[in-house]
Amino acid sequence: MGQIPVGIVDCMHLKSVDMSQNSLTGFIPIGFGEINHLEVIKLDENRLRGSIPAEIFNAQHLRTFFVQSNDLTSSIPNEITKMVNAAQIALDHNSLKGSIPLGLGNLTKLSLLHLHQNFLSGTAPSLSTDDDSQISYIVDCGNPAYLLPKQQQILCPTCTICCNSDGMCQENMSFHVMIFAGVLFAVPFVIVLLFFTLSKAKVFQRTRDPTQIYSDNSVYCFIFTKNFWAWIIHLSTAMIQFMLFWIYLQASNLQSKTTDWQFTIRCPNNTVDCENSSTRSWVGWTLFAIITVSFLGADLSQGFMQLHVAIANRDLKIFFSGFLLLSLTLMAFYASIAYNLALASTNTDLIMNAVILLFINDLDEQILHIVETLDPKWAQQQIDSVRATMESKRDVRMNYCFS
């Protein structure tokens, strides 16, 4: 109870001040900055008001600064970047406004920076440490973020945890998911380049049988016909699959208004430690991997083989088919992982979400069933046409091999 004693700042040999959880009122004395040996200031869980004094950061040896769970207002002073020895800074659960000083990104000794449950806005700085150790970096970068206008909502791609306006938090996977997406969608281009290089080097010749590289249980084989409407069905199916996966990817975006992220982490105002209620484990992810590979393995193999044949035989139509099939299959794989990272909080969630998304991957087979039901004769004609086309390509290959 009461206020911080004014005389405490006259104790010039103090190294640590811990007055947390005392219901203290009033303001933070500026004189703390004159105590040269001061390393720790803990004033959390009180009722201190006003702004954070800029002068306090003149204490050059300050390593820990905890003022969370108070009634502090105004902005974070830029002078906080003087804390070159800072290891822990907790300013969360206050009413601080304005932007986060970008100079905090230069504090390479930081292991903890908690700024959540405030009214901060703009772009948060990127943090890194000298030894690449893990940083506990929490900001209000989650949705819903209705406490600030959209144009002022905070962006923090390198935060470890994002909290929202409801006080709920979640691990920030957005940055890592984007990197994974970039690598994954580059795979078809890398494969094409590899196959083309091997073909030029004559490492492989026309070794694949064209009749074995497609499935006649999918409308994607219609690309090998000469029928205009068969091509339309093929491209329309691919477009529908792409849009469906895109919807799920948008729902997996932590920064999106339509996000389905399950905020399972609690970062309360009486501790710097967060609690995660998620129970998913490596067992669930292993089962998820088995199911995913089982469903997508055939399409991945066909995509590889079609690219192989296309490049070896300089066949543009097979190349287009293989590239599209491989890209859509990889997108299914990526969407399944991203959506589970966002939504799954239990092992059963992992499996259930995987099954739902993999059902979309079978849309091409279901559409073929519809076509066969509506006009079985026409559908059979297209399949026969595909079979004849691929057999002719096989005969050309065999003639080439024996010539």
CA 129, CA 107: separation in Å to the nearest integer? 8
Q: Decide: pTM greater than 0.85.
A: no
Distance (Å) of CA 302 to CA 171, 221, 241, 289, 401: 36, 11, 18, 19, 23
Please enumerate, as own/partner, the contacts of 32-35 that have beta carbons within 8 Å and a separation of 24 or more: 32/56, 32/59, 33/57, 33/58, 33/59, 34/9, 34/58, 34/59, 35/9, 35/11, 35/59
Classify domain 6-172 by CATH number. 3.80.10.10
* H or E element in which residue 163 lies: strand 161-163
CA 296, CA 304: separation in Å to the nearest integer? 12
The residues spanned by each domain of the chain are 6-172, 176-260+277-402
* H or E element in which residue 66 lies: strand 64-66
Which of 92, 25, 104, 72 minimizes the C-alpha distance to 269? 92
Bridge pairing between strands 40-42 and 16-18: parallel
Strand ranges for 260-399 from DSSP E? 265-266, 275-276
CA 321, CA 299: separation in Å to the nearest integer? 11
Angle at 231 between CA 230 and CA 236, to 5 degrees: 100
Query: How many other C-beta atoms lie within 10 A of the C-beta of residue 159?
Result: 28
Distance (Å) of CA 240 to CA 113, 220, 322, 335: 43, 13, 18, 15
pLDDT tens, per residue, the chain with 403 residues:
789 988 888 888 899 999 999 999 999 999 998 998 899 999 999 999 999 999 999 998 999 999 999 999 999 999 999 999 999 999 999 999 999 999 999 998 999 999 999 999 999 999 887 766 788 999 998 888 888 887 778 888 889 999 988 888 988 875 445 555 555 666 666 666 666 665 554 555 545 677 888 888 999 999 999 899 999 999 999 999 989 988 888 888 766 666 788 888 999 888 889 998 889 999 999 999 999 988 888 898 898 888 888 887 788 888 889 888 988 888 888 888 888 888 888 999 999 888 888 889 889 999 999 999 999 999 999 999 999 888 887 755 544 443 4
CA 342, CA 51: separation in Å to the nearest integer? 37
**Helix, strand, coil fractions of the chain, as percent rounded to 5:** 50, 10, 40
